[in-house]
Amino acid sequence: MLDPQHLRARGAWASLRRGLVLLGMTVLLPGSAQLVAGNRGVGIVALRVWASLWAGLLGFAALAVVSRDAALAVLSAGFTWSLLQAVLLLLGLAWVLLLVDAWRVARPIDMHRPHRLGFAALSLGLSLSIGSGVVASAGVLDSQGSLVAHVFSGGGRSEQVAGRYNILLLGADAGASRVGLRPDSITVASVDAETGRTVLFSLPRNMEDIPFAEGSPMRTLYPDGYTCPEHQCMLNSVYTEASSRPDLYPGVKDPGAQATKEAVEGITGLPINYYAMVDLKGFEALVDAVGGITLDIGKRVPIGGGTTKIKGYIEPGQDVTLDGYHALWFARSRAESSDFERMQRQKCVMSAMLNQLDPMTVFTQFSEIAGAGEQIVTTDVGGGQVSSLVELADKARRLPIQSVSFTPPLVYPGSPDFALVRATVAHHVEAAEMLDRGEEPGPAPKPAEQPGPTAQVPQAPAAQTPAAPAQAPAEQPTPAPEPAAEPSTGSASSPSPEPEDDNAADDLTAVCGTA
């Protein structure tokens, strides 16, 4: 005959084992414990919800594979993140309640007292762990949603103009030694709305006498152009001045960016749909978040210089992967080079990012980028336009990127010929559209007269000697602007020795050597 005490001990151990199994089942498959040992109705509902959750995740993964644009449209919608956060919190609460119910179903009263206390502590620990994990994940979703809503708040012109989208790309610096934020990199990407064929127009930051577009509030202040006696009125100072006069732009989120758009419209004759501005800290965080960019570098580029000592160099090489810090210095360094050479390096970085960055990766790494602050990226692109612009970017990366730099000898920043600038822009836009139609473009307009050396602004010395040329593809027709007769053949960091050869390129990838 079995000892009753022995039977009670065996029963207590069996209750403990049963309780541990039920807790494990609830952690791995919420609702399964209730299905086998508790309220079957609750278990069935919980398992259906769990299965629906996994079906939704797998469905979205399939959508991202089949139609990445549709997936991005979902991610860029403001309500998506709020909905996900609410669903996650509700599911987390239900999961914790199922754990508590699994503890109840296990009948801890049948366990030995020490086992009962340990089992209760384990149940509480699992509940707290899952609950805190869900709350932390909801916080990440909240920050993602806030960042998406902040960055893609809209305000730009969503309608294409003459079959094109013209997007102003600004790289800005708000260093401690500078008064206000100033764009150091100013480029217009003119993109065909159907084919995605893109032409980049780079404008020197020290361009003077800028005519603002019709209707611009800044035009009322500077009807004869943005001109100052001491030559301090340059293109990159438009942002600072307009930002200090928000009364000129009531209701506009970023008066400086809006004024810069109007200045660029006046210079190029292109209506600007959107702008996107990346602060230097943001650029570094963005490149790091997506794993770096790869370039072929033909000439060493200093890290530092100017008011600080040179701390090192980015060395030449093939397929060099740059992290955010080194990519930033590759794009911004002016030591041992010129503003014009730096402009070309910046376009090379843009080309590399267009060809190598996956927009889905950028979205999924938003929390890392957000660590540098919400102001690192600003734009007037709305969330509803993100997917269509990403689709255009996908098309653009399959085609050569044409590039035009408005630098000497084509245009001198101190005395720019804006009629020539607009004619050159119109020519290269038409040339890109002719390539889409299978036609060969004609010659570009030529400067009426070469200004003398005094027309140049002192901050823009001549470009340095290149180190490693790279041949552009022969199959693309060359617009050949005069006096810039051929596409540039410099490497990513080494424009040709004479700036005459550096104004236009039919394939920026060939010029830069981006991987």
Whether residue 39 contacts residue 98, with contact meaning beta carbons closer than 8 Å, is answered with: no
CA dist 4 and 116 (Å) reads 20
**pLDDT tens figures, 169-195:** 998 766 555 455 778 889 999 999 999
Q: Using DSSP, how many helices (H) and how many strands (E) does the chain show?
A: 17, 11
| Residue 514 CB coordination number (10 Å) | 23
Q: What is the predicted pLDDT for the residue at 384?
A: 79
- Check whether residue 419 and residue 376 sit in a common domain: yes
Whether residue 477 contacts residue 440, with contact meaning beta carbons closer than 8 Å, is answered with: yes
Judged by DSSP in three states, 153 sits in strand
Helix axes 40-66, 68-75, angle to 10 degrees: 120
Whether residue 254 contacts residue 239, with contact meaning beta carbons closer than 8 Å, is answered with: no
Helix axes 324-332, 280-289, angle to 10 degrees: 140
Judged by DSSP in three states, 402 sits in strand
Backbone phi and psi for residue 238, each to the nearest 5 degrees, phi listed first: -60, -40
Work out the mean pLDDT of the chain and round it to a whole number.
80
- Check whether residue 234 and residue 374 sit in a common domain: yes
Report yes or no on 43 lying in a domain.
Answer: yes
CA dist 463 and 337 (Å) reads 6
Between 97-111, 389-403, 501-515, the lowest mean confidence (pLDDT) is in: 501-515
- Check whether residue 120 and residue 220 sit in a common domain: no
Q: What is the average per-residue pLDDT within 461-470?
A: 35
Q: Which of 452, 460, 468, 354 is nearest to 403 (CA)?
A: 354
User: What's the total number of domains in the chain?
Assistant: 2
- Check whether residue 85 and residue 209 sit in a common domain: no
CA quadruple 219, 220, 225, 226: dihedral sign: negative
Cβ neighbourhood burial of 160 (10 Å; 0-12, 13-18, 19+): middle
Q: What is the predicted pLDDT for the residue at 476?
A: 40
Q: Which of 102, 127, 151 is the last residue of a domain?
A: 151
Looking at the predicted structure, is the pLDDT value of residue 15 above 70? yes
Report yes or no on 317 lying in a domain.
Answer: no
Residue 281, amino acid = K
**pLDDT tens figures, 228-239:** 888 889 999 999
- Check whether residue 144 and residue 177 sit in a common domain: no
- Check whether residue 235 and residue 184 sit in a common domain: yes
Whether residue 188 contacts residue 203, with contact meaning beta carbons closer than 8 Å, is answered with: yes
CA dist 313 and 299 (Å) reads 10
- Check whether residue 64 and residue 14 sit in a common domain: yes
- Indicate whether this model's pTM tops 0.75: no
Question: pLDDT higher for 345 or 32?
Answer: 32
Report yes or no on 322 lying in a domain.
Answer: no
Report yes or no on 94 lying in a domain.
Answer: yes
Q: Which two tokens stand for residue 436?
A: 């889409």
CA dist 48 and 94 (Å) reads 13
Looking at the predicted structure, is the pLDDT value of residue 8 above 70? no
- Most confident by average pLDDT, 106-115, 264-273, 324-333: 264-273
CA dist 234 and 214 (Å) reads 19
Q: Which of 96, 122, 151 is the last residue of a domain?
A: 151
Q: Which of 151, 176, 199 is the last residue of a domain?
A: 151
| Residue 2 CB coordination number (10 Å) | 7
Q: How far is residue 392 from each of residues 53, 273, 342, 354, measured CA to CA in Å?
A: 32, 14, 27, 11
High-pLDDT (> 90) share of the chain, %: 40
Q: What is the predicted pLDDT for the residue at 349?
A: 84
Whether residue 275 contacts residue 380, with contact meaning beta carbons closer than 8 Å, is answered with: yes
Looking at the predicted structure, is the pLDDT value of residue 488 above 60? no
Report yes or no on 474 lying in a domain.
Answer: yes
Report yes or no on 393 lying in a domain.
Answer: yes
- Check whether residue 364 and residue 218 sit in a common domain: yes
For residue 192, the number of C-alpha atoms closer than 13 Å in the C-beta half-sphere is: 23
Structural domain for 141, as ranges:
4-151
Q: Cα 512 to the chain's mean position, in Å?
A: 20
**Residues with Cβ within 8 Å of residue 449, at least 6 apart in sequence:** none
- Check whether residue 266 and residue 412 sit in a common domain: yes
Backbone phi and psi for residue 164, each to the nearest 5 degrees, phi listed first: -140, 155
Q: What is the predicted pLDDT for the residue at 374?
A: 53
High-pLDDT (> 70) share of the chain, %: 79
CATH of the domain at 388: 3.40.630.190
Secondary structure element (H or E) that encloses residue 429, with its range: helix 418-436
For residue 188, the number of C-alpha atoms closer than 13 Å in the C-beta half-sphere is: 30
- Residue 515: band (very low, low, confident or very high) from pLDDT cuts 50, 70, 90: very low
Q: What is the average per-residue pLDDT within 284-298?
A: 84
Judged by DSSP in three states, 35 sits in helix
Q: What is the average per-residue pLDDT within 253-281?
A: 92
Between 220-224, 271-275, 369-373, the lowest mean confidence (pLDDT) is in: 369-373
Question: pLDDT higher for 502 or 477?
Answer: 502
* Bridge partner residues of 321 (DSSP): 294
Q: What is the average per-residue pLDDT within 386-411?
A: 86
Report yes or no on 423 lying in a domain.
Answer: yes
- The answer, yes or no, to whether the previous bond of 409 is cis (omega within 30 of 0) is yes
- The answer, yes or no, to whether the previous bond of 359 is cis (omega within 30 of 0) is no
Q: Which of 328, 193, 343, 210 is nearest to 264 (CA)?
A: 210
Whether residue 423 contacts residue 448, with contact meaning beta carbons closer than 8 Å, is answered with: no
Q: Which of 421, 394, 433 is nearest to 503 (CA)?
A: 421
Q: What is the predicted pLDDT for the residue at 505?
A: 59
Whether residue 491 contacts residue 299, with contact meaning beta carbons closer than 8 Å, is answered with: yes
- Check whether residue 137 and residue 172 sit in a common domain: no
Return the HEC string of 257-305.
Answer: HHHHHHHHHHHHCCCCCEEEEEEHHHHHHHHHHCCCEEEEECCCEEECC
- Residue 456: band (very low, low, confident or very high) from pLDDT cuts 50, 70, 90: very low
- Check whether residue 10 and residue 99 sit in a common domain: yes
- Check whether residue 358 and residue 501 sit in a common domain: yes
Report yes or no on 302 lying in a domain.
Answer: no
Between 85-94, 112-121, 335-344, the lowest mean confidence (pLDDT) is in: 335-344
- Residue 390: band (very low, low, confident or very high) from pLDDT cuts 50, 70, 90: confident
Q: What is the predicted pLDDT for the residue at 337?
A: 80
Question: pLDDT higher for 375 or 460?
Answer: 375
